Structure 1
Amino acid sequence: MKNRLYPCLTILFSIWLVISGCSTGETNGDKKTAEKKEEKIPEAAHDPKEIMKQKPGRFSGENYDQKKVEKALDQFPDNLSTEEAYDRLVYLLGENYRPKYEEVMNLDPTIRVNEKTPDQKVDVPSIERMNVEIVLDASGSMAGEVDGGVKMDLAKQAIKKFVSELPEEAHVSLRVYGHKGSNEKKEKKVSCQSNELVYPLKSYNSDEFTESLDQFEPTGWTPLASAIRAANDDLKEWEGKDTRNIVYVVSDGVETCGGDPVKEAKKLGASGIEPMVKIIGFDVDNAGQKQLKQVAKASNGSYQTIQSGDDLKEYLEAEKKKLREAWKGWSTHSYLKAGEKWGGKIRKLESLLYKKPDGKERGLAYIVNQEIDRLKDAAKYLEKNEKLKERATNVRHPLLGKIYRRETSIDSFIGDLEVTMINKLDKEKKKEQKRIREKEKEMTDQ
């Protein structure tokens, strides 16, 4: 029985060896085939826009090494067609255009002047809003008469005319103080608490503003400090926004409610709303003038003494004229600034397109020149080593001709790109300068 088993086992073992050997042989053969399998070379881009987005070659940019390139060229198959050789050379030596090209395309052509506007303390890209708050003293002393009539009546007339001639975009508010109770001691508390925003900050409406202005008469004491504090609260919503805030305080006397108007004025001047404060002293005695001047100084504002109705009108007229002149100066300076910004962006564009090597910074045209020079050298090397199917005719080899056409195509593309971008910049400059002139006209044609 044992003798019969041996031949069977021998046969089975032999079969196993044959199967194992075949399996091993196939695996080794596949590996050798994979090793011999050539890398697939993609077709090179011909359209300049596609070239700008091409995958950079192994020897692009700083990776270029002539000896290594020639070694790679030696491994090219013989008898290559012009198209095959071209694809291979671009695959090896094609430059990385994408970062610089995207930088050119992302260049913002917008021209926007961030110039300081009249009565502003900070630069802003544009004037989104102008707020004018009138803070009017309605204490009993405003019932007194000056040359031209009753102080309160004259103040109301002048204020009404002033706000009606402000730019249409201006927002206006009116706050009064001391308009309740009476100027008797027994009603001092009521009067000193009378501090009211009778026309909330909004666009000017003639009927509504007039109604708000005419609803009170000169009555009580003078809570000047609380009125200034309230003005700060009225405007603080616009803190840090693209806004001009102008506060006009019209008063004929000193604080009589125990407050500290100088302290409140300091807070107003230092606030984030950064207002322009103008104190108008209407028929004020020496003591009143002294305090009101201190209030103006504390808020980094100005003080003006007014003795009559005509004086008040002239002052407000002068304010409008001053504002118009300031806007004209702003307009001229901003107009020129727009030209400067345009010039800066033109220089930036030229740098992106044509800048010579500066460390790692290279203009787009320089990258093209570098790529083309390397492609030409590689093409001549292939021709010299008889790797190419076609032969040179007349002046140059067909492969060199294809590379020259690539150069011409990209150069033309960059030239067109430059013209397009300059046209955009020109358009934006004109648009901004037009905006500046229109803004000046809007703010001065009143």
Structure 2
Amino acid sequence: MKAIKHFLVLLIGLIVFVSGCSQEAEKSKEPADKAKTAETKPAKDEKANEDQEKEEPKEELAVDPLPTTYQELESLSQGPYHDLNYDLTEENQQMFLETFKELPDVSGTPTEKELDLFYSEVLKMVQKDYKGPEEAIKRLKFQSIGSPEMKDTRYEFKENLNVEIILDASGSMAQEVNGKVKMDAAKDAINQFVQKLPKDAKVGIRVYGHKGSNADSDKQLSCSSSEIMYPISSFDSGKFQSSLDKIKPTGWTPIGLALNEAKKDLSQFDGATNTNIVYLVSDGVSTCEDNPVEAAKSLFGSNIKPIINVIGFDIDNEGQKQLKEIAAATEGIYTSVADESELSDELSQINQLAESWDEWKKKGMQSIDLKKVQNSLDIFVYITREEVKSQKEKDLINHVAFVLWQNEMMTAESRVYIEEKNREYHDWIDSEILKFKEELHTLNEMNYSEAIKTLEEKYQQNTQ
């Protein structure tokens, strides 16, 4: 009996001990569980911040205003897809979708502000290179060379006429445009030009960036490469062709170096007895640390007194901006050309001036009456070009809207809004072109100096 009582006492003690241990274990476990719960549930403050962020209003869209003057219009950068071709083939539609995939999403029900932003962004991508009144003034001055009314001796016919072409031979000139290597297109256009020069005119051709390669390891070599391939002299067809054949596009783009070397080429042809014309042809920005704008200013301000014009050949926005700065610094004409045909057209203007110089020489270097403004060297051709730019730009934007609508990435209502905005904007551009065209027509019976003075007085506030 005593044994049974002893056993019961031990059993009760064991139960109490085990129960106590369990409670301690639960107590020690409780903080860990609570910590785990705290880790998985967001704090009240964090949740409140998240809710506040959701409730904050969206940032107001910033939409660039459309230009209100032709001067503002021509200051806009040419878009990377300004010359994009399009048709209704399925392949072309896919190309359009890929090209414009980064445009703002307007697939839902966008606000007018969102559609305005969309229009602004697509316009930047297809923006044309418009030319305004300042361009007309520069072209009139260039076309007025030899006019007795011109007071600037730079624009007088002198005993000698010298033309130097400074040609880009960097690696990018090995690319193709319209199925033809750019360097080959440039050579052919230059050859056509020099073939038509009067026999007494002298011509020279200098290249730059034609050594080494466009690899980083060759940068120093290439950036120090510029060579006179055909020294300024009378035209010899065989020798000139041989000089062109030696030019191979390979390296970097030392424009400043080439301009400084051109100053040496022309140093013996001072402006007192020589009419000197320089054409810089490039397909890109200077890629060397050679300050091309300062080099151009130095050449322009020297006693050589050259007229310096600049041609951008199938060029991008960055290159175009720099070449425009060079032209502006030398009061010269900047022109973008897309292919060999347009390059030939631009160079042909020198041929027509050279013909007038030849006539002046044959008359014993007496004054000659140049043609009236309207009939001179197609001054109105560039007005027609402006009209074509406006039409093509408008059509391209409408096609973008059509492709997005057709692929259910824009509603019919949004498409109507974009096309109407596009029509109004390009109607304004067309009206500005028409006004300027009418202004130029009033210059028909004026001589060059009167025409230039009239335009400068009207637009001088835009050039200060």
Give the TM bin, normalised by the shorter chain.
0.3 to 0.5
Q: Return the index of the structure with the highest Cα Rg.
A: 1
Report the TM-score when normalising by structure 1: 0.46
Report the TM-score when normalising by structure 2: 0.45
